[in-house]
Copies of this chain bind each other. A is one copy, B any other.
């Protein structure tokens, strides 16, 4: 795996411009901080660029997606502002093999709910403390991550989280209020690998924390797949008797 991974970090970039408290933490936008974290851990094995909601086509043109191996997604108050045709396009790229890392409130994006087929709703509350537990210590996304770590200030995300059972569950979180959450979830959809990671509220400096950065960097590597032919399309394939013996 010596390929260079081409990452696009997508940020809604609304809170940071509307809310002084958020801007104080992420003056260049959360997407910039997330991109820095990925570069910090993956160095020359990645090239990272960013894209945001207000750009033409939300910065996710055909060209950008065609040259993106891994997309990360953070959105919240602007989910409904993402154009359906862009969601179609990104959804199609994920099924074709582009890796996807969905962060925090991205659980409720059009993209993630379409990939999951469920509501992806959950419980929430501001002002808590999150304790993150590694429950799949041999998983590549857990490499270098301690058995348990604390995020001192976090929004509570609690069960019931309305997602399909993850293909692999890597992290569980608990909160002061006694809630639990499946905070690190792996899914495979089509040829695409997806990692959902719940830490990351906009009013706390979560994306500066080393353990969080490492997990996101590990996830970028885990969801990555080298470009490959598309298996499944929107057309079913008629296959005459003996087709594969003739092809072989």
**Interface hits, A82-134 → B, CB 8 Å:** 95, 97, 108, 114-119, 121-125, 128, 131, 133-134
Find chain B residues with CB under 8 A from A150 CB: 244-245, 248
| Binding stretch for chain B, among A6-14, A19-27, A62-70, A221-229 | A221-229
Is A143's CB under 8 angstroms from B236's CB?
Answer: no
Residue tally, chain A, CB below 8 Å to B: 78
Inter-chain CA distance A103–B221, complex, in Å, is: 27
Is A138's CB under 8 angstroms from B177's CB?
Answer: no
Find chain B residues with CB under 8 A from A204 CB: none
Contacts A167-B168, A180-B133 given: A156-B1 contact, CB under 8 Å?
A: no
Number of copies: 4
Minimum CB–CB distance from A44 to chain B (whole Å) comes to 11
Is B179's CB under 8 angstroms from A174's CB?
Answer: yes
Is A56 in contact with chain B by the CB < 8 A criterion? no
Instruction: Please provide the 7 A-B residue pairs with the shortest distance between their CB atoms, ordered closest to farther.
Output: A162-B232, A138-B191, A123-B239, A115-B117, A117-B117, A131-B178, A137-B231
Contact residues of A with B, CB < 8 Å? 1-2, 95, 97, 108, 114-119, 121-125, 128, 131, 133-140, 143, 147-150, 156, 158-162, 164-165, 167-169, 172-174, 176-180, 182, 187-193, 221, 225-226, 228, 231-245, 248
